[in-house]
Structure 1
């Protein structure tokens, strides 16, 4: 008798306590989902392309409704591309543009910014109206407003700022507010995404056809790697940087009435970029309604690189541009397994067998 081999799952499924209760009682239904977070994390975001395609292209199409898409850095670019071009074309466009970028170690911050801005223009320029007025997606972009010497792109003030952020974050996450403030940019139409006080000053600014590209650029502008963004239309004067500095994996007090569906590239949530230095994890109450869907360790180990694409691959010793592109394309192609497994879970509604506590 032939014994059928059981394949390791491609996904790990974790849920907050309210999400778990709701899913075990009703199953996972598209109409339950009202918020979708998108984390910062560079090219890891294109490594879950197949999952994004399944969620936005297949799952949500069964119950069209207005959903808040809240993203930092690559998370906001993922959502912008989907809003501009649709799930299939949008994710493929982002994956192709990102994969074919070229960087070298001697590039200046301004040069890196120019390359990334060129990619952003290729991604969504001409689609500003779709981003701001999309009937189903309330695009919400996270960035930070730099304070004091953190506004400077010069080496010494920048290094001093980073040292100060690390030192204050070591004491408590909220103390880094002396160097940066959160900015939430969103269209004025529809229900507004709001959060309760979490220790950071939070500014709300309109996402308009004139400002959307600037806010997307600011959201992904990594200090020390790219220049800060200023002169944003309809925004106070200042210097704006990567939203992942405060909201790396977006551990916010979501005001969801149903499910926060979180397609993520890792199985844990780290609040801010600097919090990973101190192994901080999310507040369980913030994630009470979150269903976190991420690649399993077995899936990651099966990939050509043993992991998802990473920003360090651009300058990794022994990996040239042609090899990197080939490996990234393989990783992206493999991600169809993530989407297929998600849709199978939804079809069978066997979440009770796989769901774990977040």
Structure 2
């Protein structure tokens, strides 16, 4: 039977596994992409990783994510990560909205979702003995710094940002900067030296800003309201971290350990605005030193073909199913249940890594 997962290795990761195999103690960083409902397909892997495999080799690990990826990493640092991931998947899948909800309505709904997921556990995220969580957000600069929550100004600002980004990703720096809300015990040294054209700021996570940082990290422009006045952070409007780091094309090579990246696709797209620009794909057919120590795990085409509608859950399902919430929730929960097959396949592979079934290189 076809495997439900595909595995892709950077050159350094492949050499290490060929020489020594793969153990939980090797894993230093776990990234988690933005992507909304697509992230639900990793629920089974998340439960196995953080509930079974990684606890067997406790060490300091950096958990970094944007949007739903930041939420996944936050619950991974809870005292009971399995329950946290189950809670996140259930509440995310059971979101319901009226036809054409306002941005304020969606923001209030998502804020309530986060309250259900974090309720009584936020302090655990900040105090985990080994896990160091970072949530990526995008802060408006230039025209977007002056949008002031006015919809037409936001729309004009993001259209200008998209036009500039189409010419060069460096031009995105005129509209957005990445702000990383990080565990106060982690200096995020591997990210502080500039690695692309986007400026970065670093803000320590605390009890006073964790929820707002997570909400901002998932606040899709024009769909949700920007988050303002986050404690400890520079003033301004904060939006979805996927705008600047959609699939987290980060300088992983700076860490001597391995990076385990459960992802919903075998492609790494730097920013959300790069989705329709195939030449922006990380590597794009050439050697990419940023990915040398990466172990990327993604659902296989045959696995996806067996899901409802032969695709991953995504935001387009909201208009597709319309007000038939029960049908969408049924299909999303089915996909979440199927994700356990991905976890089982990954568990078998890490026990006896077979390089013969690994893709020739990262795409």
TM over 0.5: yes
Q: Which residue is equivalent to 1:282?
A: 282
Number of residue pairs matched by the alignment = 352
> How far has the Cα of 1:252 moved from its partner?
0.9
Report the CA distance between 1:126 and its aligned residue.
Answer: 2.6
* In 1, Cα distance between equivalents of 2:61 and 2:311: 30
CA distance, structure 2, for counterparts of residue 105 and residue 85 of structure 1: 38
C-alpha contact (below 8 Å) 1:313/1:319 kept by paired residues: no
SS of 1:200's partner is coil
Instruction: Specify the SS of the correspondent of 2:173.
Output: helix
Residues 1:159 and 2:155 aligned together: yes
What is the CA distance between 1:305 and its match in structure 2?
2.3
User: Which sections of structure 1, spanning at least 5 residues, go unmatched?
Assistant: 1-6
Contact 1:84 1:124 in 2 (8 A): no
Partner secondary structure for residue 84 of structure 1: coil
Return closer, same or farther for 1:318/1:76 CA change in 2, 3 Å cut-off.
Answer: closer
Matching residue of 2:7: 13
Return the alpha-carbon distance in structure 2 between the equivalents of residues 265 and 105 of structure 1.
28
Query: Which residue is equivalent to 1:227?
Result: 225
Paired with 2:141 and 2:113, the residues of 1 have a C-alpha distance of 28
Structure 1 317/334 Cα, relative in aligned 2: closer, same or farther at 3 Å?
closer
C-alpha contact 2:38 2:314 (8 A) present in aligned 1: yes
Match status 1:205 vs 2:199: no
Partner Cα separation in structure 1 for residue 322 and residue 240 of structure 2: 29
1:303 aligns with 2:307: yes
Runs of 5+ in structure 2 lacking a partner? none
Closer/same/farther in 2, CA of residues 149 and 71 from structure 1, 3 Å limit:
same
User: Distance between the aligned counterparts of 1:148 and 1:156, measured in 2?
Assistant: 15
What is the TM-score of this pair, normalised by structure 1?
0.95
Question: What SS does structure 2 have at the residue aligned with 1:240?
Answer: strand
Deviation at 1:50, TM superposition (A): 0.9
In 2, the alpha carbon distance for the partners of 1:262 and 1:12 equals 12
What is the alpha-carbon distance in structure 2 between the residues aligned to residue 242 and residue 165 of structure 1?
14
Give the superposition deviation at 1:353.
3.1
CA deviation map 1:184-214 (0-9, x unaligned): 1112214535323111110011111111111
Where 2:295 maps in the other structure, the secondary structure is strand
Q: Report the TM-score when normalising by structure 2.
A: 0.93
Cα deviations by residue, 1:101-156 (Å, 9 ceiling, x for unpaired): 10233211111000000000111133222111211210011001111332423232
Give how far 1:55 is off. 1.6
Deviation at 1:91, TM superposition (A): 1.1
The aligned residue for residue 237 of structure 1 is 235
Segment drifting more, 69-78 vs 50-59: 50-59
1:246-265 deviation per Cα after TM superposition (whole angstroms, max 9, x unaligned): 00000011222111100001
Return the match for 1:102 from 96, 108, 112: 96
Which of 343, 346, 352 is equivalent to 2:350?
346
Paired residue for 1:272? 271
1:1-358 to 2 correspondence within 5 Å? 7-151=1-145, 152=147, 153-190=149-186, 192-195=188-191, 196-197=193-194, 198-254=196-252, 255-279=254-278, 280-283=280-283, 284-317=288-321, 320-358=324-362
Counterpart in the other structure of 1:4: none
Query: Does the 8 A contact of 2:98 with 2:323 survive in 1?
Result: no
Distance 2:138 2:295 in 1: 26
Q: Residue 24 of structure 1 contacts residue 352 of structure 1 at CA under 8 Å; is this kept in 2?
A: no
2:261 counterpart SS class: strand
Give the Cα separation in 2 of the matches to 1:320 and 1:140: 36
1:54, 1:297 → 2: CA distance? 22
